[in-house]
């Protein structure tokens, strides 16, 4: 069992390294099986590649599936990414209130980008009830 575990750890590390080096088709080879097994970091990276057609043909449905899978497991960057999918209507039907839910989850994990986006949403009343106090709170947490 430990050998199998270390092999998937090795594939994950190699897949992430390939992704960072922009060797997307190699990254996909390594990360795809792990993403299918539900590994959140692999799902997040696969979602980005699927959404943007990096090393493969773009597939919005698959990108959404992977992004959501990682987000539901508490992956902050995936929660942020899923928030943007809902905010912009990319890969999924536009839904600002769902976007706010996912940005909140990521913001609560300390992701400054999500905190800032959430602050703007409260400032504009986009997907949430307009609330300048809440906007200030998130701007402050983001370091503004």
pLDDT tens-digit readout, 34-87? 999 999 999 999 999 999 999 999 999 999 999 999 999 999 999 999 999 999
Q: Is residue 93 part of a domain?
A: no
pLDDT above 90 (res 16): yes
Cβ partners under 8 Å of residue 37, min gap 6: 8
Residue ranges making up the domain that contains 60: 1-73
For residue 33, how many other CB atoms are within 10 A of its CB? 13
pLDDT above 60 (res 3): no
pLDDT digits (tens, 9 = 90+) for 107-143: 999 999 999 999 999 999 999 999 999 999 999 999 9
CA distance linking residue 91 with residue 112, whole number of Å: 24
Confidence of residue 8 (pLDDT cuts 50, 70, 90): confident
Confidence of residue 94 (pLDDT cuts 50, 70, 90): very high
Q: Is residue 44 part of a domain?
A: yes
Q: Is residue 83 part of a domain?
A: no
- pTM, entire model: 0.93
Nearest to 94 by CA among 104, 106, 105, 82: 82
Q: Is residue 89 part of a domain?
A: no
What stretch of H or E contains 83?
Answer: helix 76-88
Q: Is residue 68 part of a domain?
A: yes
SS (H, E, C) 41-66: HHHHHHHHHHHHCCCCCCCHHHHHHH
CA distance linking residue 15 with residue 31, whole number of Å: 6
Cβ 45 vs Cβ 32: under 8 Å:
no
Cβ 44 vs Cβ 66: under 8 Å:
yes
Q: Is residue 120 part of a domain?
A: no
Identify the pLDDT of residue 40.
98
pLDDT above 60 (res 2): no
Q: Is residue 80 part of a domain?
A: no
Q: Is residue 140 part of a domain?
A: no
Count of domains for the chain = 1
Tokens of 97: 């209130």
């Amino acid at each position: 069992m430990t050998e199998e575990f270390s092999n998937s750890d090795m594939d994950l590390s190699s897949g992430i390294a390939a992704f960072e080096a922009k060797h997307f088709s190699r990254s996909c080879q390594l990360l795809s099986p792990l993403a299918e097994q539900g590994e959140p970091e692999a799902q997040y990276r696969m979602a980005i590649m699927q959404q943007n057609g990096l090393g493969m043909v773009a597939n919005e449905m698959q990108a959404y599936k992977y992004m959501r899978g990682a987000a539901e497991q508490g992956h902050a960057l995936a929660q942020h990414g899923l928030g943007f999918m809902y905010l912009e209507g990319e890969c999924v039907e536009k839904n600002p209130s769902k976007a706010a839910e996912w940005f909140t989850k990521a913001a609560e994990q300390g992701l400054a980008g999500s905190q800032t986006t959430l602050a703007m949403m409260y400032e504009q009343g986009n997907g949430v009830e307009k609330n300048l106090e809440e906007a200030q709170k998130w701007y402050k947490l983001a370091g503004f």
